[in-house]
Structure 1
Amino acid sequence: MIKKITCNNGLRIISEDISHVRSVAVGIWVQAGSRYELPQENGLTHFIEHMLFKGTATRSAKQIAEEFDRIGGNINAFTSKENTCYYAKVLDHHAKHAVEILADMFFNSLFDPNEIEKERLVVLEEINMVEDTPDDIVHEYLWREMYENNPLGSPILGTEETLNSFTKEMILSYMERHYTPDNVVISVAGNIQEGFLEYIESLFGQYKSVKKPVKSLETPAIKPIYTENFRETEQAHICIAYPGLSINADNIYSLVVLNNILGGSMSSRLFQEIREDKGLAYSIYSYHSSYEDTGVVVVYGGTSSNQLNELKTSIFDSIENVMNKGFTETEILNSKEQLKGNLLLSLESTNARMSRNGKNELLYGKHRTLDEVSETIDEVTLESVVDLAKEIFSHKPAISIIMPKKVDL
Structure 2
Amino acid sequence: MVDYEILDNGIKLYKVPFRNENIAIGILVNIGSIFEDKEFRGISHLLEHMMFQSNKKYNKNQIHLLFEESGSIHNAMTYYNYTLYFAAVMKEGFENIVDLFYWMFENDKYDNNEFENEKNVVKTEIMMREEDPRIFLEDNLSKSVYGDSDYGDPIGGYIETINNITKDTLEEFKYKYYSPKNISIFLEGNISDKDVEIVKKYFSRLEGNDIKLKNPIKGEGKDIIIKMKNIQQIYYSINLNSNIKNTMLIDALTEFYNLGASSKIFEIFRNKYSIGYSPSLSLSNFYDDEIIYSLIIPGFQIDKEKILDNAIEEFLDNLKNVDNKYKKARSNIYKFNYNLKKENIVKRIETDPYLIKILNMDYDQYFNNVYNILSNIDKDFIEENNKYIYDLFEKGKKVIIYPEDYDKRNN
Residues 300 and 276 (structure 1 numbering): CA distance in 2 closer, same or farther, change over 3 Å? same
Question: Identity across aligned pairs (percent)?
Answer: 22
Match of residue 337 from structure 2: 342
Q: Is contact 1:227-1:401 (8 Å) kept?
A: yes
1:304 lines up with 2:301 in the alignment:
yes
Q: Distance in 2 between matches of 1:162 and 1:22?
A: 44
For structure 1, the residue ranges without an aligned partner over 5 or more in a row are: none
Q: Distance in 2 between matches of 1:175 and 1:315?
A: 49
Q: Is contact 1:219-1:293 (8 Å) kept?
A: no
Matches within 5 A, 1:213-252: 213-219=212-218, 223-243=221-241, 245-249=242-246, 252=247
1:204 lines up with 2:200 in the alignment:
no
Q: Pick the aligned partner of 1:255 from 246, 250, 254.
A: 250
Residues 354 and 139 (structure 1 numbering): CA distance in 2 closer, same or farther, change over 3 Å? closer
Match of residue 181 from structure 2: 182
Tell me, what secondary structure is at the counterpart of 2:93? helix
Tell me, what secondary structure is at the counterpart of 1:151? coil
Match of residue 46 from structure 2: 47
Q: 1:55 deviation in Å?
A: 1.0
1:4 lines up with 2:4 in the alignment:
yes
Tell me, what secondary structure is at the counterpart of 1:195? helix
1:320 lines up with 2:316 in the alignment:
yes
Q: 1:381 deviation in Å?
A: 4.6
Matches within 5 A, 1:72-151: 72-108=71-107, 110-151=109-150
Tell me, what secondary structure is at the counterpart of 1:55? coil
Tell me, what secondary structure is at the counterpart of 2:77? strand
Q: 1:85 deviation in Å?
A: 0.8
Q: Is contact 1:224-1:396 (8 Å) kept?
A: no
Q: State the superposition RMSD in angstroms.
A: 2.6
For structure 2, the residue ranges without an aligned partner over 5 or more in a row are: none
Q: Pick the aligned partner of 2:347 from 348, 352, 355.
A: 352
Tell me, what secondary structure is at the counterpart of 1:242? strand
Tell me, what secondary structure is at the counterpart of 1:174? helix
**Per-residue Cα deviation, 1:188-225 (whole angstroms, up to 9, x for no partner):** 1122344221121122224333342315234556x342
How many pairs are equivalent? Answer: 402
Tell me, what secondary structure is at the counterpart of 2:245? coil
Q: 1:376 deviation in Å?
A: 5.2
Q: Is contact 1:319-1:393 (8 Å) kept?
A: no
Residues 317 and 47 (structure 1 numbering): CA distance in 2 closer, same or farther, change over 3 Å? same
**Per-residue Cα deviation, 1:281-332 (whole angstroms, up to 9, x for no partner):** 212112213322222221122212222222x224422443256x46545444
Residues 17 and 145 (structure 1 numbering): CA distance in 2 closer, same or farther, change over 3 Å? closer
Match of residue 389 from structure 1: 386
Q: Is contact 1:14-1:188 (8 Å) kept?
A: yes
Q: 1:157 deviation in Å?
A: 1.3
- Residue type at the aligned position of 2:179: T
Tell me, what secondary structure is at the counterpart of 1:237? strand
Q: Is contact 2:41-2:158 (8 Å) kept?
A: yes
Residues 213 and 376 (structure 1 numbering): CA distance in 2 closer, same or farther, change over 3 Å? farther
Tell me, what secondary structure is at the counterpart of 1:279? coil
- Residue type at the aligned position of 1:24: I
- Residue type at the aligned position of 2:301: S
Q: Is contact 1:329-1:382 (8 Å) kept?
A: no
Q: 1:400 deviation in Å?
A: 1.5
Q: Distance in 2 between matches of 1:220 and 1:263?
A: 29
Q: Distance in 2 between matches of 1:73 and 1:134?
A: 33
Q: Distance in 1 between matches of 2:224 and 2:51?
A: 39
Q: Is contact 1:230-1:402 (8 Å) kept?
A: yes
**Per-residue Cα deviation, 1:40-62 (whole angstroms, up to 9, x for no partner):** 12111111000000110121110
Q: 1:97 deviation in Å?
A: 0.9
Q: Is contact 2:41-2:157 (8 Å) kept?
A: yes
Q: Is contact 1:52-1:105 (8 Å) kept?
A: yes
Q: Is contact 1:177-1:214 (8 Å) kept?
A: no
Q: Distance in 1 between matches of 2:258 and 2:98?
A: 40
Residues 253 and 69 (structure 1 numbering): CA distance in 2 closer, same or farther, change over 3 Å? closer
Tell me, what secondary structure is at the counterpart of 1:8? coil
**Per-residue Cα deviation, 1:135-181 (whole angstroms, up to 9, x for no partner):** 11123234324321321211111111011111122223322343232
Residues 145 and 350 (structure 1 numbering): CA distance in 2 closer, same or farther, change over 3 Å? closer
TM-score for the superposition, normalised by structure 2 = 0.88
Tell me, what secondary structure is at the counterpart of 1:101? helix
Q: Is contact 1:231-1:402 (8 Å) kept?
A: no
Residues 258 and 59 (structure 1 numbering): CA distance in 2 closer, same or farther, change over 3 Å? same
Residues 2 and 148 (structure 1 numbering): CA distance in 2 closer, same or farther, change over 3 Å? closer
